[in-house]
């Protein structure tokens, strides 16, 4: 089967800033991965190349191939991708209801408009997704009246309206309390078990759920390292990645970081 993502020597600019430089990355179906890196490393930029919200600099050697194709109808491509991001959440007006958040996923928008006609089947599907993620009671509640955890569940429901093969999660649990984070990650794990491929960007190592076996370390727009979790989540690599002394701690199949040597102070 064709890889889901094939980036070859891709360079991308955000305004005047070179955000990615000669990045190559191949992701196959079912190969869940996490991208780690400092603020400004280019993680969100990389995800936006995949969702076609951004295009790379034109270079003869550079390629972006998604689901085996270089040219796409962007709308049909996006039906195969579900996105949850902190940034997406900020784009929603407080007055949009839970139901409309989910329905907006059908049009890749951040609200619904009077000219958009949704079928009874689409309404029913949206209600079912809200119920599935434990927010069925929030269908008519405005987004601004929900907790951050509830908002994120609505966004996960939105991401799934087209039953996409791939979930792209950019800091999806930012601002959630511990219980809400664990619950959200539990839902993501269920979706992985159903066959969705997950591409996660996070600043929290404890969100690298056991199913994620591949880790990509991105620094200053370049891939510093890319490999199996056990090889990447080490004191040496993470100290290099973040430029501060780090000790990695492992428990129950999860990882966490603490400052190296801090206890001796």
Ligand X SMILES: Nc1ncnc2c1ncn2[C@@H]1O[C@H](COP(=O)(O)OP(=O)(O)OP(=O)(O)O)[C@@H](O)[C@H]1O
Interface contacts to ligand X, rule CB under 6 A: 14-15, 17, 19, 37, 39-45
Given ligand X, Mg ion, none, residue 264, with its beta carbon under 5 to 8 Å by kind, binds none
Instruction: Give whichever of 42 and 98 is closer to ligand X, judged by the CB atom.
Output: 42
In whole angstroms, the minimum distance from the beta carbon of 170 to Mg ion comes to 6
Q: Is 89 in the site for Mg ion (CB under 5 A)?
A: no
- Candidates 44, 51, 85, 97: give the one binding Mg ion (CB under 5 A): 44
Kindly state whether residue 45 participates in binding Mg ion, applying the rule CB under 5 A: no
CB-neighbour burial class of residue 220 (10 A; exposed 0-12, middle 13-18, buried 19+)? middle
**What is the smallest separation between the CB atom of 65 and ligand X, expressed in angstroms?**
21
**51 contacts Mg ion (rule: CB under 5 A):** no
In this complex, which beta carbon is closest to Mg ion, that of residue 86 or of residue 125?
Answer: 86
102-111: long-range contacts, CB 8 A cutoff, minimum separation 24: 102/126, 102/129, 102/130, 102/154, 102/157, 102/158, 102/161, 103/161, 104/158, 105/157, 105/158, 105/159, 105/160, 105/161, 105/162, 106/161, 106/162, 108/75, 108/78
Q: Which residues 6+ apart lie within 8 Å of 265 measured at CB?
A: none
Residue 37 contacts which entry, ligand X, Mg ion, none (Cβ below 5-8 A, type-dependent): ligand X
Residues at the contact surface with Mg ion, assessed by CB under 5 A: 43-44
């Amino acid at each position: 089967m064709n890889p889901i993502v094939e980036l070859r020597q891709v360079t991308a600019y955000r305004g005047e800033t070179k955000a990615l430089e000669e990045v190559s990355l191949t992701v196959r179906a079912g190969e869940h991965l996490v991208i780690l890196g400092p603020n400004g490393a280019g993680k969100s930029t990389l995800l936006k190349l995949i969702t076609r919200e951004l295009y790379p600099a034109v270079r003869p050697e550079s390629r972006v191939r998604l689901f085996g194709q270089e040219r796409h109808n962007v709308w049909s491509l996006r039906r195969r991708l579900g996105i949850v991001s902190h940034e997406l959440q900020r784009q929603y007006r407080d007055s949009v209801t839970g139901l409309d958040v989910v329905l907006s996923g059908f049009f890749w928008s951040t609200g619904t408009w009077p000219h958009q006609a949704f079928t009874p089947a689409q309404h029913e599907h949206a209600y079912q997704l809200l119920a599935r993620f434990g927010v069925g009671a929030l269908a008519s509640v405005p987004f601004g009246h929900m907790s951050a955890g509830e908002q994120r569940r609505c966004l996960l429901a939105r991401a799934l309206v087209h039953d996409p093969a791939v979930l792209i999660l950019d800091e999806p649990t930012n601002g959630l309390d511990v219980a809400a984070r664990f619950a959200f990650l539990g839902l993501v794990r269920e979706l992985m078990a159903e066959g969705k491929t997950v591409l996660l960007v996070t600043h929290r190592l404890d969100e690298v759920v056991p199913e994620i076996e591949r880790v990509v370390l991105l620094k200053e727009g370049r891939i510093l390292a890319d490999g199996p979790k056990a090889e990447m989540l080490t004191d040496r690599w993470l100290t290099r990645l973040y430029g501060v002394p780090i000790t990695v701690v492992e428990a129950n199949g999860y990882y966490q970081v603490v400052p190296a040597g801090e206890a001796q102070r």
